[in-house]
Chains A and B, each alone.
Chain A
Amino acid sequence: MPTLVQTISDSILGPGGLVLDDLEPLVSELSVGEVDFADLFFERAEAETFSLEDGEVKDASYYQDAGVGVRTCAGDKQGFAYSSEITAARIREARDVAIAIQDGRQSRHGVNLDQVSTPKLYVAKNPIPEKSATDKIAFLLDIDIKARAKSVLVRQVQATLSISYREILIAATDGTLGADVRPLVRLSVSVLAEKDGRRERGSSGLGGRYDLDRLLTVEHANRLVSEAVDQALVNLDSVDCPAGVMPVVLASGWPGVLLHEAVGHGLEGDFNRKGSSFYSGKVGQQVASKGVTVVDDGTMSDRRGSLNIDDEGHVSQRNVLIEDGILVGYMQDKLNARLMDVAPTGNGRRESYAHLPMPRMTNTFMEPGDATQEDMISSVDRGIFAVNFGGGQVDITSGQFVFAASEAYLIEKGKVTAPVKGATLIGHGPEVMSAISMIGDDLALDPGIGVCGKNGQSVPVGVGQPSLKIDRLTVGGTA
C-alpha cells in the first residue's frame, strides 16, 4: 500500500508534472548561506457551501484552491513567497524571492527527507462527494420545517452546511516530509423570532473533522433547531443587563472562549519570544487560581481544532499550559521554539499556503474540578449566569480581554431569574484567572464551531471548560 505521503504527493504534485522524488532537490536548493531552516508547503483544498433561507436552498457555492508556499528562515528573519501553480519553475521563482532577504548564496548541504509517521485522529477522506447535492439540500429543508414547527414566533430560518477538504504536504530542510488529509464539516442554524414587534435572533452550530453521515443526523438537526429557537425565545423576554463588577457563573463548553482569550493567545510562542505578551517571562509563576489546569490538545479525535501533524509537519501534542495555577509552558512553532531554545509543540499553523505559519491554538480547555453548577449559582447573591457566547478579543500586551454573551440570565439570591440582553464582559487575563473560585465537574468541549483570527489569518479551533464561578468580572450592561 502506498504511504499517505505518496498518495498525497501524487494528488498535489502530479498535475504540475512533479513527483515525490523532486522534493529533495527542490528543498535542498533552499538551504543556502545563512538560512537555518526552510520549507515547502503544498496544499490542495476544496470547499462547498449550501445555504437555506426563506424555506429554500437558492444559494450554493463551490471553491477550489491549490498552491505552494516557499519559506526561508535565518534567525528571526523570514523570506516568503507562494504560487497557485505547482510547477518546478514557479517553485524556483518563489525560492528566489524567499532567499532575497537572507545573506549568502553558498549551497549548504543536501537534504535527506524522512517521512513523518502520521497519527490517524480523523478519517482521511473527502466528505464533499459523500452525499449528493440533493440529499444535502433535503437535510437543510427539513431544518426549516422543524424550526417553524417548534414555535409560531419563528419568522426566519437560516441554515448553512459547510464542507471542506484539505490535503497538505510539507518538505523541510530539517528532513521533515509530512502529509495530512483534513476533512472539516460544520452545520449552523440561525433563527429570528418575533413577538409583539420585538425581534431577536438565536443560533446554534456543530461540526468537526468527520464525515457527513455523522454530521447530517436527525438528532443533530433536532438539537440545533431546539437550541437556536430556545435561545431566540429566551432573548425575546430579556431585560436590560446590569452594568458593573459582579460575580459571573459561566456554563460549560463554548464559554471556554474565555480561556482562549484570557490565557491562550498570551501563551503563544511568538509574543513571548518577543517579550510582548503579558505572560512573557512568567513560566513557573502563579498566573491563575490553584486548581486551574489549562491544556491545549491537538490530539483529540475528530475535533475541529485537531491536527494529525501541524502545518510544519510536527506531530501534534497535548500541551499543558497552566498546571494547578502555575504557568508551565508556551505553544510553539519551529521558528519560535528554535529562537527560545525549546522544543516545538505542534502548534505551527497557517491559514493556507499563501500565509506564513505562526504559533496557534488547537483545542484549548480547562480540566474539571469537583464543584457543581448548582452550588455556584446558589452561592451568588447578585450576578450573571452566562450560558452562551459570541466571539472575543484580547490585547496580549496589557492582558485586557473581552467576550460577548449571547444568552445570559440574572442570578438573584442564589436563583437564576430573568434572561438579560447580550452584554460584553471585560477583564484582565491573569486577574480573572485568579478570581476563579469554583471549578465544575462538568467539563465539556464546544460543539465544533470555533474560528480563531490572528494577524489576518483564520484557523479552526476548539475550546472547552467546566462550569466556572468568577468572583469579579466587569459586565457591560445598560442598567
Chain B
Amino acid sequence: MAEKFNSQYEKNRLEELTTRILEQSKHVGADACEVAASVSVGLDVQARLGQPEKLEMTRDQSLTITIFIGESRGSASTTDLSDGALQRTLVAALAIAKVTAPDPAAVLASRDQIIQTVPDLELDHPWEIDAKEALNLAIEVESFGRQADSRITNSEGGSVYSNRGISVHGTTEGLLVSQPTSVHGMSCILLAEDGDSRERSYAYTQSRRPNQLSSPEVVGREAAEKTVARLNPCKCQTAEVPVLFIPETASGLLSSFVSAISGGSLYRQSSYLLDRLGTDVFPSWVSLSENPLIPSAMGSSAYDGDGLATREQAFVTDGILSSYVLSLYSANRLGLESTHNAGGVRNLFLQGENDFRTLVSEMGRGLIVTELMGQGVNLVNGDYSRGASGFWVENGEIAYPVHEVTVASNLDRMLKQDLAAVGSDIDLRRSITTGSMLFEKMMVAGS
C-alpha cells in the first residue's frame, strides 16, 4: 500500500491544480471561486470459506469547482483531472453561475475567518501490508469466526481494507489547506443455523492506525458470538416497555438529534427542534460536546468544510440546547454565526457512568435493541418507528433473542423525558460516540 500512495506528491499535484484553477477563474469572469479536490487509494480484499475471493485496488479522485458571479453560484465536478476536463468543468460551473438566482447567504470564508495554520492531527498512517498478507488476514479472521461455534455453518467472508487519501481545499479568499487521512479495517460476516433458524451477523474493527485494529481472533469470535446469540428468536408481545439501545444503535439516535439541530434542517423549518435554542432537549445530567482535535480519531479534522478552524465545543449543556450545528451558509440563512461545523460534527461524545450489566438489571423487563432496520425517523416532527431485533430482558437478565418487532416513540420525548441512563461502554470506531442509552418506555410492536 505505502509505495502506491505518496501523500506529499499528491498534495503538491492537487494544490498545483487548485491554485491554477483559482487563478484561471479570475480570467473567465468569476468574482470568486472555490476548489475542493481529493484522491484516495485503497486495497480491499475478501476471503470466503478459507479461500481468497476478491482482490480490489481502488483509486478514486475528484475535483469540484464552485464559481461565484455576483451572488450567484454554480458548481461542477469531474473525476478526470486532465487539463481538457478541468477546463470543461470550469466552463460548466461558470455557465451554471450565470443562470442561477442570487443567493446572498452563499459566501466564501473571508481571509480573517479561515484557519491560519493547520495542526497535524496524525490522521494518516500507512499500513505496510501487501495483497497476499491482507488476504491471509481475511482468511484468518473468518477462520477464527467459523471455528468459534459449531452452529456457525456458513459465511459471507472475512474482509480487510486499507485506504489512504488526501483532500485539498482552496478559495480565491486565500484558503489553501490539505489534510491526509487513512482508514484501515477488518470485518467478518457469519451465518449460523440451528434447526429451522438461520441468522447472520457481523463484527468489525476500524481505525486510522493499523496498530490499533483489534486482532483477527477478537473480530472473528465477536462475529460468531453475535451470530449464534440471535438464533431461535421470538417475537415479543406488543407492549410499552423500557428499551435499551446498545452503542451501535444509540449512535443513530444521536445522529438524528444532530441532524435536527443542523442548519439545513432549521432553515428549511424541517426540524422538531426549531426555535428550541436555550431550552431543555435532554435531562439536566446530559451534556453533549464535540472534540474535532483528538489525534488519530475517526472524526477528527483541523478545519471544517468552509476552511474554518474546528474547536472543542458543547451543543448541549446540562440538558439545555446551547448551540446549533452551523456552516457559514446555514448560519447566514438563520442570521447567526457559523459554529465551524460545515460537514457536520466531529467526535461527538456522550458517555455515562453505568456499565452495560447495570443498565440491563436496572431496566428489569424490556427490550435491548442491537439492530435497527429501515429509515422510519421523521425529523420534521420527531416521530420514530423502526424495525428492530435484539434481546428480551426479564428480571434484569437477558432471556431470549427477539426479532421482527418495531420500536416506536418520538425523538423529542425519548431524549428529553424518557432517557433514563447512559452507559460507559462507548464505541470509539465512530465519529458519533456514545454509550448505551436506556429509555423508560417505547412502544414495542410484536405479536
Contact = CB atoms under 8 A, between A and B. Distances in A.
B383 interface: yes
B80 A84 contact: yes
Given A156-B270, A404-B376, A78 B54 contact: yes
B375 A245 contact: no
Interface string A132-159: 0110010000000000000000011010
B284 interface: no
A233 to B, nearest CB: 14
B185 to A, nearest CB: 13
A57 B101 contact: yes
B55 A80 contact: yes
Nearest to A275: B154
Interface string B398-411: 00000111111110
B330 interface: no
A440 interface: no
B118 to A, nearest CB: 27
A192 interface: yes
Nearest to B43: A97
Q: Is the interface of A mostly helix, strand, loop or mixed?
A: strand
Nearest to B274: A199
B45 to A, nearest CB: 8
Given A100-B55, A243-B406, A61 B75 contact: yes
Contact of B268 (A58, A156, A356): A156
A475 to B, nearest CB: 6
Interface residues of A, number: 77
Interface in B82-115: 82, 84-85, 88-89, 92-93, 95-96, 99-103, 106
A393 interface: yes
Interface stretch (A64-72, A105-113, A247-255, A291-299): A64-72
Nearest to A392: B374
Contacts of B82: 85
Interface stretch (A161-169, A282-290, A409-417, A423-431): A423-431
A10 B2 CA distance: 37
Contact of B99 (A78, A137, A397, A402): A137
Nearest to A474: B445
B198 A428 contact: no
Nearest to A406: B378
Contact of A58 (B72, B77, B445, B446): B72
Contacts of A59: 73, 100, 103
B54 A80 contact: yes
Contact of B405 (A84, A201, A397, A426): A426
Contacts of A478: 385, 408-410, 443
A276 B80 contact: no
B99 A134 contact: yes
B169 interface: no
A192 B78 CA distance: 34
For A83, A100, A243, A428, which residue has the most chain B Cβ atoms within 10 angstroms? A243
B148 interface: no
B56 interface: yes
A354 interface: yes
Given A58-B72, A60-B96, A475-B445, A354 B60 contact: yes
B55 A101 contact: yes
A76 B48 contact: yes
Contacts of A244: 238, 445-446
A155 to B, nearest CB: 6
Interface in B114-165: 131, 135, 154, 156
A85 B380 contact: no
Contacts of A241: 385, 408
B352 to A, nearest CB: 26
Contact of A192 (B61, B270, B386): B270
B381 A64 contact: no
A214 interface: no
Contact of B373 (A67, A156, A421, A426): A426
B238 A60 contact: no
A400 B230 CA distance: 13
A151 to B, nearest CB: 16
B188 to A, nearest CB: 14
Given A61-B74, A65-B78, A402 B386 contact: yes
A67 B60 CA distance: 10
A139 to B, nearest CB: 13
A73 B73 CA distance: 46
A199 B385 contact: no
A241 B445 CA distance: 11
A395 B385 CA distance: 18
B198 A398 contact: yes
Contact of B381 (A80, A199, A354): A199
Contact of B387 (A79, A84, A476): A476
Given A61-B74, A477-B408, A477-B445, A421 B383 contact: yes
A476 B154 contact: no
A474 B385 contact: no
B230 to A, nearest CB: 8
A278 interface: yes
A402 B372 CA distance: 10
B284 to A, nearest CB: 26
Nearest to A63: B77
B221 interface: no
A403 interface: yes
A81 B59 CA distance: 8
Nearest to B384: A478
Given A82-B59, A100-B131, A426-B373, A198 B381 contact: yes
B243 to A, nearest CB: 13
A382 to B, nearest CB: 14
Nearest to A97: B57
B13 interface: no
Which 9 pairs from chain A and chain B are nearest by CB?
Answer: A476-B406, A402-B387, A402-B374, A101-B55, A56-B101, A58-B103, A243-B445, A397-B200, A244-B238
Given A59-B103, A158-B268, A424-B376, 8 more contacts: A15-B84, A62-B96, A81-B56, A192-B269, A243-B408, A397-B198, A404-B385, A478-B410
18 contacts: A59-B103, A65-B80, A66-B79, A78-B54, A84-B79, A101-B131, A133-B99, A198-B381, A243-B238, A244-B238, A275-B154, A391-B374, A398-B199, A398-B230, A400-B404, A474-B235, A477-B445, A478-B408
Interface of B: 48, 51-61, 72-80, 82, 84-85, 88-89, 92-93, 95-96, 99-103, 106, 131, 135, 154, 156, 191, 198-200, 230, 233, 235, 238, 268-270, 373-376, 378, 380-381, 383, 385-387, 389, 403-410, 443-447
